[in-house]
Structure 1
């Protein structure tokens, strides 16, 4: 295989381009995706290559164009719907939850919805409360959807390729802090939609995270290594399905854990993982499992307040130290 360096943004673009070249049923639609090239420039230049029939600018109605995507999928097409930001996806909840997630079940398996919905998520760009929240857990709660959160360049391309091959609806969350990140990746690396991945092996404590929090967590692990604390970092990658086996295997190895997510603490992804560990691996724990989550406020605009509202490297380090000092 040949390795090449690209950004997270270009990895997504390459996956979309490859799918469109290989399958005439694939098309993409959303706000400002054609002539403007997408708010985060993922689709820049694609309209010139594929034409505006296949890279379609839509009206400012998430419910309408998401519903059109569901209809197109039912009709045999393989649409990609780009929603500008996760907050705007709330306008399409009826279509996503009442239609995309349920039609296969309600039809007794007669109909499938090969639909990929991509959306930006997370804070860090000073886009304030209506553009910056992390609502992944809302969609991960819904049976009938797959929910993926690629945090690396390789996963951005590989997981989108896999999502486009899936016969059922996939929601893909792209953290806004990742688009400019670059890395070398191999051609045609396959990434499945259901497996977590250990990003750093360790013996003392497991740090469980996903999406934009992965790189802060890896940085925290490096700082803790200087204190002779050996952290294992587990990247969930997929929230539905959730890789129970990988989570429990790491817990049984280290016997301690901290879960890190940008989403609000109450009823979040971290809470679900903590419940899983308590149900399936309680007697493996040498200390109470802990979480570092977003503060329960709307994301502020001011940079210092925005940073304070979600877990940062010092917060993760402090939480790990707290767990290691609370052995039972």
Structure 2
């Protein structure tokens, strides 16, 4: 996967009604972006933050495959600027979110956001997420390059070697000490994976092979009925309003993890403080159908207002 794809995917993960991505950038805004920003002909627009009061997108931030273009109104300390993705990965972020001053800084690059419904803290979270994805990309690529330059050394001549089978795939050969280390580190399972060496008629479970059996931890005995956790019953759950629920309220429902609860709160804030439908909640939670159907009776969406936002734009297709 290319760095461009990583950045575009990261933008899609953080898309909201105020952070337009790909084909969901309205055409009118897109036309103004090409007029007002120094976008080169070989750039692809990934995402847009419109910081204008009336939604013209003549000021804001444009994320492309090259970096981030910024254009502020005449009131901004920095009229316009650009940071490429290489420099962005090392950038530091800061922001102010007062009524009279809503600004976000990428190093010395200012984004004046007073006219945007996207708040600086939320946009900062988006930029931090993109930055982390870039770091992960370079870390993985560096590890792959290191592995290609330093292949695993073969066993020394004269040592007895073994093959290992994991999920039907064969690996090796390895010497005994290497396999023992793999068992202890959890890379292979003594009760599920197999070994074989020359002279053996068949593959054998690792736990049944003499050199390795003592390295396989015995399975714990079944829990006493008195200490077994009792399954939760639906009667213990109370209905919550997702538009007013706190973190603890969300975590009181089954299947909702800390990660998904935080995602709901972030999405709610990005939507202006209220979900419009329970289907939006379902989309954020990304549970299996039967899981969501179980908790659906205990969630409601109250006090929301229908958004007049209309989607449109062009497609960025990888």
TM over 0.5: no
Give the TM-score taking structure 1 as reference length: 0.22
Give the TM-score taking structure 2 as reference length: 0.22
**Which of the pair has more CA radius of gyration?**
2
